[in-house]
Amino acid sequence: MESSLYASLRRTVAATSTVLALAAGAWASGTEAVDTVITPEPAQAAVPVDGFDATAEARQLVAESRRAEREARKQAEAEAAAQAAAAAAQQAAEAEAQAAAAEEPRRAGTRATRGNATRSRATRSGRAGTSRGEPIVSGNGNSVVDYALAQVGKNYRFAGTGPGGFDCSGLVAAAYGQAGVSLPHQTGGLSSKGQAVGRGDLRPGDLVFTDPGHVGIYVGNNQMVHASTQRGGVKRSDVYRFAYGRRIVNG
């Protein structure tokens, strides 16, 4: 009895392996008619053992394999599309930053010409740097930088906007929010706000993107404040990598 059952099982396994090999070959060659591959001739049909049908089992395995292949292909295509979009966004931001850097010499001459008039307007209004079109933040001691520095040592918190914890874009949104400027709580949204700025032209308060997914607040001396990681929390550190920068402007 046991030897007969063992022999039947061996025949079943052999038949299943043959069916799977045929199905794999048909799949590789693009054959869509699965039934013609996995349905053997009557003389080659697997011998049922206690109700186990090798042909049905093989058919199910082939169907599951194809479903897995389709899902893997869809996932790979989605991931490739996301990576391509992120790379395109970074390239566009870098191109804008390079264009801004190339334009800087001309802007420097214009700023020098306008300097006295700008300082005069700022003195009259009592709000230096808040006239329409001028940078909201400039120089040390501005409220955005002061707020960011005051958060150093607090916890990193996913989607956090304070006061107990922050993520990177949440810290930026909170720092500018207390200065009366509404910014999105999303790194991708922040990357299109304000004006592009090169690394050599950074001012305290500018946004520093180390990559398309992480942002901090420049505080001067090649340093920034950012909500780094779960372990690091909110900290002040060197600008260890610069992908692009943005200057938030009024108006």
Rounded to the nearest 5 percent, the helix, strand and coil shares of the chain are 55, 15, 30
Give me the half-sphere count of Cα atoms (radius 13 Å) on the Cβ side of residue 114. Answer: 11
Cα within 13 Å of Cα(121), Cβ side: 10
Q: Which residues contact 228 (CB under 8 A, 6 or more apart)?
A: 156, 168, 234, 235, 237
Beta strands 155-156 and 165-166: pairing type? parallel
Identity of residue 223: Q
Contact, 248 vs 172, CB < 8 A?
Answer: no
Catalytic machinery residues:
168, 214, 226
